Copies of this chain bind each other. A is one copy, B any other.
Amino acid sequence: MYRNDGIRELERQECLRLLAKAPVGRIVHTRHALPAVLPVNFGLDGDGAVLLRTSAASELARAVDGAVVAFEADEVDPLAHSGWSVVVTGPAAVVTDPGEHRRLVRGGPRSWAPSPREVFVRIEPELVTGRELVGGFSMYGLDAFF
Protein backbone atom coordinates (compact mmCIF):
# COMPACT_ATOMS: atom_id res chain seq x y z
CA MET A 1 0.00 0.00 0.00
CA TYR A 2 1.32 3.43 -0.87
CA ARG A 3 1.24 6.22 1.68
CA ASN A 4 0.22 9.60 0.35
CA ASP A 5 3.86 10.67 0.08
CA GLY A 6 4.52 8.00 -2.57
CA ILE A 7 6.50 5.77 -0.19
CA ARG A 8 5.70 2.09 0.26
CA GLU A 9 7.17 -0.04 3.05
CA LEU A 10 8.55 -3.35 1.78
CA GLU A 11 8.11 -6.81 3.27
CA ARG A 12 11.15 -8.82 4.40
CA GLN A 13 11.02 -11.26 1.47
CA GLU A 14 10.67 -8.40 -1.00
CA CYS A 15 13.68 -6.71 0.64
CA LEU A 16 15.83 -9.82 0.36
CA ARG A 17 14.86 -10.32 -3.28
CA LEU A 18 15.93 -6.73 -4.09
CA LEU A 19 19.14 -7.08 -2.06
CA ALA A 20 20.07 -10.19 -4.02
CA LYS A 21 20.26 -8.22 -7.25
CA ALA A 22 22.30 -5.28 -5.91
CA PRO A 23 26.00 -5.41 -6.83
CA VAL A 24 27.14 -3.25 -3.91
CA GLY A 25 25.86 -1.98 -0.59
CA ARG A 26 27.15 0.21 2.20
CA ILE A 27 28.12 -0.86 5.67
CA VAL A 28 27.35 1.64 8.39
CA HIS A 29 29.12 1.48 11.72
CA THR A 30 30.77 3.65 14.34
CA ARG A 31 34.41 4.71 14.09
CA HIS A 32 36.06 6.77 16.81
CA ALA A 33 32.54 7.53 18.09
CA LEU A 34 31.54 8.98 14.70
CA PRO A 35 29.17 7.49 12.13
CA ALA A 36 31.10 5.79 9.33
CA VAL A 37 29.92 4.38 6.01
CA LEU A 38 31.78 2.41 3.35
CA PRO A 39 30.59 0.87 0.08
CA VAL A 40 31.39 -2.83 -0.29
CA ASN A 41 30.44 -5.69 -2.54
CA PHE A 42 28.67 -8.50 -0.73
CA GLY A 43 26.81 -11.78 -0.88
CA LEU A 44 23.63 -13.01 0.76
CA ASP A 45 23.55 -16.22 2.76
CA GLY A 46 20.57 -18.58 2.59
CA ASP A 47 19.00 -17.08 5.72
CA GLY A 48 19.33 -13.50 4.51
CA ALA A 49 22.56 -12.76 6.38
CA VAL A 50 24.85 -10.31 4.57
CA LEU A 51 28.35 -11.63 3.82
CA LEU A 52 31.38 -9.41 3.27
CA ARG A 53 34.92 -10.46 2.43
CA THR A 54 37.78 -8.29 3.51
CA SER A 55 41.43 -8.35 4.50
CA ALA A 56 41.98 -9.88 7.95
CA ALA A 57 44.10 -6.81 8.74
CA SER A 58 41.51 -4.30 7.59
CA GLU A 59 40.18 -1.56 9.79
CA LEU A 60 36.68 -2.60 8.70
CA ALA A 61 37.02 -6.12 10.12
CA ARG A 62 38.26 -4.73 13.45
CA ALA A 63 35.63 -1.99 13.60
CA VAL A 64 32.55 -4.12 12.98
CA ASP A 65 33.43 -7.43 14.67
CA GLY A 66 30.96 -7.77 17.55
CA ALA A 67 29.14 -4.52 16.78
CA VAL A 68 25.58 -3.91 15.65
CA VAL A 69 25.78 -2.45 12.15
CA ALA A 70 23.46 -1.47 9.33
CA PHE A 71 23.93 -2.57 5.76
CA GLU A 72 22.15 -0.64 3.02
CA ALA A 73 21.64 -1.14 -0.70
CA ASP A 74 19.52 0.92 -3.02
CA GLU A 75 18.68 1.60 -6.63
CA VAL A 76 17.51 5.07 -7.55
CA ASP A 77 16.33 6.57 -10.81
CA PRO A 78 17.08 10.29 -10.41
CA LEU A 79 15.07 11.26 -13.49
CA ALA A 80 11.91 9.35 -12.57
CA HIS A 81 12.35 10.18 -8.84
CA SER A 82 11.75 6.54 -8.04
CA GLY A 83 13.70 3.73 -6.46
CA TRP A 84 14.08 1.43 -3.51
CA SER A 85 16.29 1.12 -0.45
CA VAL A 86 16.78 -1.87 1.83
CA VAL A 87 18.52 -1.91 5.22
CA VAL A 88 19.66 -4.98 7.16
CA THR A 89 20.44 -4.25 10.81
CA GLY A 90 22.08 -6.72 13.14
CA PRO A 91 25.24 -7.84 14.88
CA ALA A 92 28.30 -8.34 12.68
CA ALA A 93 30.99 -10.92 13.39
CA VAL A 94 34.10 -12.23 11.69
CA VAL A 95 33.52 -15.89 10.76
CA THR A 96 35.96 -17.91 12.86
CA ASP A 97 34.62 -21.45 12.38
CA PRO A 98 37.02 -23.20 9.94
CA GLY A 99 34.28 -25.25 8.25
CA GLU A 100 32.11 -22.21 7.78
CA HIS A 101 35.10 -20.26 6.43
CA ARG A 102 35.80 -23.05 3.88
CA ARG A 103 32.15 -23.04 2.80
CA LEU A 104 32.32 -19.29 2.20
CA VAL A 105 35.63 -19.48 0.32
CA ARG A 106 33.80 -21.75 -2.12
CA GLY A 107 30.43 -20.01 -2.30
CA GLY A 108 30.80 -16.60 -0.65
CA PRO A 109 31.42 -13.18 -2.20
CA ARG A 110 34.68 -12.40 -4.02
CA SER A 111 36.95 -9.48 -3.12
CA TRP A 112 37.35 -6.62 -5.53
CA ALA A 113 40.69 -5.74 -3.99
CA PRO A 114 42.06 -9.12 -2.91
CA SER A 115 44.62 -9.41 -0.13
CA PRO A 116 46.72 -12.39 1.00
CA ARG A 117 44.74 -13.20 4.15
CA GLU A 118 41.02 -12.61 4.01
CA VAL A 119 38.15 -13.08 6.40
CA PHE A 120 34.39 -13.16 6.02
CA VAL A 121 32.13 -10.91 8.02
CA ARG A 122 28.57 -12.04 8.59
CA ILE A 123 25.78 -9.58 9.46
CA GLU A 124 22.79 -11.27 11.09
CA PRO A 125 19.52 -10.14 9.46
CA GLU A 126 17.73 -9.33 12.72
CA LEU A 127 15.90 -6.39 11.21
CA VAL A 128 15.23 -6.19 7.48
CA THR A 129 13.41 -3.07 6.34
CA GLY A 130 12.88 -1.39 3.02
CA ARG A 131 10.98 1.28 1.22
CA GLU A 132 10.06 2.05 -2.32
CA LEU A 133 9.58 5.57 -3.65
CA VAL A 134 7.21 5.77 -6.56
CA GLY A 135 7.96 8.71 -8.77
CA GLY A 136 4.44 9.81 -9.65
CA PHE A 137 5.07 13.29 -8.32
CA SER A 138 7.51 14.18 -11.03
CA MET A 139 4.81 13.78 -13.65
CA TYR A 140 3.22 17.01 -12.41
CA GLY A 141 6.41 19.00 -12.34
CA LEU A 142 8.02 19.26 -8.95
CA ASP A 143 8.28 23.04 -8.97
CA ALA A 144 4.52 23.39 -8.81
CA PHE A 145 4.70 22.14 -5.23
CA PHE A 146 6.80 24.98 -3.88
Contact = CB atoms under 8 A, between A and B. Distances in A.
A39 interface: yes
Interface string A76-91: 1010010101010100
A23 B24 CA distance: 17
Contacts of A143: 110
Top 5 A-B pairs, shortest CB-CB distance: A23-B78, A114-B145, A35-B70, A81-B112, A37-B72
A81 B23 CA distance: 10
Most chain B beta-carbon contacts within 10 A, residue among A69, A76, A133: A76
A146 B114 CA distance: 8
Contacts of A137: 112-114
A138 interface: yes
Interface residues of A, number: 45
Interface of A: 5-7, 23-24, 26, 28-30, 34-39, 41, 55, 68-70, 72, 74, 76, 78, 81, 83, 85, 87, 89, 105, 110-115, 127, 133, 135, 137-138, 142-143, 145-146
Q: Among A29, A112, A114, which residue has the most Cβ atoms of chain B within 10 A?
A: A112
10 contacts: A28-B35, A28-B36, A28-B70, A34-B89, A39-B85, A111-B145, A112-B135, A112-B138, A112-B142, A113-B133
